[in-house]
Amino acid sequence: MPFHFWSPDTYEGAPTSVTVLLATLSMIGGFVGLYRLFFIALPDYLDIWTKVIFILAFLSMTMGSLIAMSQDNLKRLLAYSGIAHGGYILIAFSVATFDSQWSVLVYFLAYIFMTVGAFAVAMVVERARGSSEISALGGLGYSNPFLGVTMTIFMMSLVGLPPFAGFIGKLYVFKSAVEGGALFLVLVAIVTSVISLYFYLKVVR
């Protein structure tokens, strides 16, 4: 989300073991707070806050993805891509249906799995090579095929390619969004997912 733009500098400067907690717990805490605020505390203002979330979803997906393209540090890249993923989750919030709430849970589970896995590989590489720069992952598939394949799976899952967990999460969100009339945001999400393929491939190529 736009108010998560503190995360890249924090992620890069913190130990990777701390970063993975920030990447997951801050996302969960933020969205639990939004849910309690809008669905429980302010249900009478549904028409107003869904429009605000619509804008936040658009900004998060586009800004997070576009800025991630220029990153050379893996933790910063994952931070900006995390902002984009926050935007995908906000799509479901913007339609405010029962199915969309369920899709948020599915996406959260997939995102946590993908993010923890990607940071776990990053932690191993950082300890072995002394750097969290994307260039430090060069030749990982040759020096450690298991880690190379594992990282590739996590990156493709973050893109949302089938048959990985990220695809299932996005499928649920997109389905609920289309049914809720948020087709424009789904189209934006598809475009930004294609953009994400570029920067996630930087990590594993």
Q: Which of 3, 48, 9 is nearest to 27 (CA)?
A: 3
Residue-wise pLDDT for 117-134, tens only, equals 998 998 898 888 888 899
Mean pLDDT across the chain, nearest whole number?
A: 86
Check pLDDT > 70 for residue 1: no
Average pLDDT over residues 159-182: 92
pLDDT number for residue 15? 74
Helix H or strand E segment including 112: helix 98-129
Check pLDDT > 80 for residue 4: no
- pLDDT confidence of 170, banded at 50, 70, 90? very high
Helix H or strand E segment including 81: helix 74-95
Q: By percentage, how much of the chain surpasses pLDDT 70?
A: 94
Q: What is the pTM of this model?
A: 0.88
d(CA 28, CA 76): 19
Range of the domain at 149: 2-204
Burial (CB count within 10 angstroms: exposed 0-12, middle 13-18, buried 19+), residue 1: buried
Residue-wise pLDDT for 24-46, tens only, equals 777 778 778 877 777 777 777 77
d(CA 38, CA 44): 9
**Counted domains in the chain:** 1
pLDDT number for residue 161? 94
Partnered with residue 73 across adjacent β-strands are 133
Q: Ranked by mean pLDDT, which of 73-82, 95-104, 181-190 comes out on top?
A: 181-190
Check pLDDT > 60 for residue 2: no
SS3 1: coil
pLDDT number for residue 157? 95
